[in-house]
Amino acid sequence: MRAVFSGLLAGLIFGAGLALSGMIDPARVLGFLDIAGHWDPRLAFVLAGAVIVSFGGVRLARRRAAPLLAAQFQWPDAAARIDRRLLAGAALFGLGWGIAGFCPGPAIAAAGQGIGGAILFTLAMLVGMALYQRFES
Amino acid sequence: MIAYVLPALAGGALIGASAAMFLLLQGRIAGISGILGSLLRAGASPARRFGDAAFLLGLLGGPWLLVALGVAMPPIRIATPWPLLILAGLLVGYGTRLGSGCTSGHGVCGMARLAPRSFAAVATFMAVAIATTFVVRHVLGGL
């Protein structure tokens, strides 16, 4: 129950942040990625604001033996290396991001606004994830 | 200038606060592609599944909450034709799972953990996205 409530609250804050920051608007995202056009620098401020606050959270978390509502922290594998999978995956993601201006969070938040293009993108993204699961396992 | 960047900074801070909260309360990385992927995968515990589903529900509701609080939200403008939206969605879905993260998991959470893999992933997807946008807009003349 507490996991559901805290998950819902964290999701609401995340979604509100995506909307307030403008990250939810693919035209603005493409305006940031288009450095040769009429460049819109604002998404750099979104990322900076997010990383700074998140960094504070990581510092607090590292001092604790366990999170408040779960048995243990699930940190990503610290021994994992920078490998071909990581870079190939990031490159494929960048290709899709550069075409449409949507990454996963904003696509879902925009789909929740009932916008057809965002719903279509989100469904295709879920198919892409399911395809990965099928081929990799 | 301040009015121009303030919503971006404040919205970013909210995203960071959400990630900090998810980490401190549940001990998890608030990466959207990771959360979606673990929901699609069999074998996660029911508690984790419900927590993940609740996060996604909140993500859908967040923009509505903002508007309900009387805060202005920018318009959502999609100019990409639908066949390309499908292609882009497939690439983003497959790529974020293969590369273990997206803008939130590698960008917001990974860089805050000072993880070398996340810095490499962010540099790669930023560079490829910038190059792609350049080709689409200035070589192909828009789509």
Interface test with A, best of B6, B28, B59, B84 (most A CBs within 10 A): B59
The residue extents of the domains of chain A are 2-136
pLDDT digits (tens, 9 = 90+) for A58-73: 999 999 999 999 999 9
* Two structure tokens written together for A49: 């604001």
Check whether B47 has a pLDDT greater than 90. no
| Residues 6 or more apart in contact with residue B1 via CB below 8 angstroms | none
Check whether B100 has a pLDDT greater than 70. yes
pLDDT digits (tens, 9 = 90+) for A16-29: 999 999 999 999 99
Q: For residue B58, give the nearest of A12, A99, A122 by CB distance.
A: A12
Q: Averaged over B36-65, what is the pLDDT?
A: 90
How far away is chain A from the Cα of B45, in angstroms, using its nearest Cα?
A: 12
Q: How many residues does chain B have?
A: 143
| Residues 6 or more apart in contact with residue A78 via CB below 8 angstroms | none
* Two structure tokens written together for A89: 């995956």
pLDDT mean across residues, chain B: 94
* Two structure tokens written together for B110: 């990974």
Check whether B143 has a pLDDT greater than 70. no
How does residue B121 score in pLDDT terms, banded at 50, 70 and 90?
A: very high
Task: For B73-134, give the DSSP string.
Answer: -------S-HHHHHHHHHHHHHHHHHTT--IIIIIIIIHHTT-HHHHHHHHHHHHHHHHHHH
* Two structure tokens written together for A9: 């609250």
A15, A107 in Cβ contact below 8 A? no
Average the pLDDT over each of B48-57, B78-87, B89-98 and give the range with the smallest value: B48-57
SS3 state of residue B137: helix
Q: How many residues does chain A have?
A: 137
pLDDT digits (tens, 9 = 90+) for A87-137: 999 999 999 999 999 999 999 999 999 999 999 999 999 999 999 999 886
Amino acid at A4: V
How does residue B56 score in pLDDT terms, banded at 50, 70 and 90?
A: very high
Query: Regarding predicted confidence, which is higher, B45 or B101?
Result: B101
Q: For residue A60, give the nearest of B24, B98, B117 by CB distance.
A: B24
Where on the phi/psi map is residue A136: left (φ > 0), alpha (ψ -120 to 50), or beta?
alpha
Q: What is the ipTM of this complex?
A: 0.96
